Amino acid sequence: MVSQTLQRTVDALSVEDRVGLLEYLERTTAFTDTVLTEDQLAMIARRDAEMDADPLLGVSEEEFMSTLRARWT
């Protein structure tokens, strides 16, 4: 879980800074020990195929952020 202080700090960042933070986290977080289940792999493949079939299924950044805020606040 993310602390409220950290969440407020990230919320205050510009989009450019958030992207930089995301890139940093991706570089510094080792997922090599993560094992996905067959169900998780199937879900990823299904969602990837759905997006390839119809790229308009995606959501705007605003919708995405709204969903995240609703889920984590």
21: CB partners within 8 A, 6+ apart: 10, 13
Q: Apex CA 51: angle with CA 48 and CA 52, to 5°?
A: 85
The mean pLDDT value for 49-65 works out to: 81
Q: Does residue 55 register a pLDDT over 70?
A: yes
C-beta separation of 57 from 51 below 8 A: yes
Domain residue ranges of the chain, discontinuous segments joined by +? 1-31, 35-73
pTM: 0.41
Query: Any idea which of 10-14, 18-22, 36-40, 51-55 has the lowest mean pLDDT?
Result: 51-55
Q: Could you tell me the two tokens for 64?
A: 């995405």
What does the alpha-carbon distance between residue 4 and residue 15 come to, in Å, rounded to a whole number? 19
pLDDT band at residue 31 under the 50/70/90 scheme: low
